[in-house]
Amino acid sequence: MTGRQDASVGYRDAWQIIETYPRGTYVVLDRAGHNLQIEQETLFNALVNEWLNRVEECLK
């Protein structure tokens, strides 16, 4: 998960590592910089919880 307005590390380079994580999802949040969990808190939490649910399903 990256912020489109992240001036610290950007968002484009993160795409290069997606193949390394088979349960991963690439998400770019607009109206967010480097502090996604603060700038887009509701969306950030929903996406993290959805990912945790998928990971948990794989462990069963």
Structure tokens at 38: 């603060």
Structure tokens at 2: 């990256």
Do 26 and 59 form a contact (C-beta atoms < 8 A)?
Answer: no
8 Rama sector, left if φ>0, alpha if ψ -120 to 50, beta otherwise: alpha
Query: Stretch 44-55: mean pLDDT, rounded?
Result: 93
Do 13 and 21 form a contact (C-beta atoms < 8 A)?
Answer: no
Confidence band (pLDDT; 50, 70, 90) for 60? confident
Q: In this predicted structure, what is the pLDDT of residue 30?
A: 96
Structure pTM? 0.82
Q: In this predicted structure, what is the pLDDT of residue 35?
A: 97
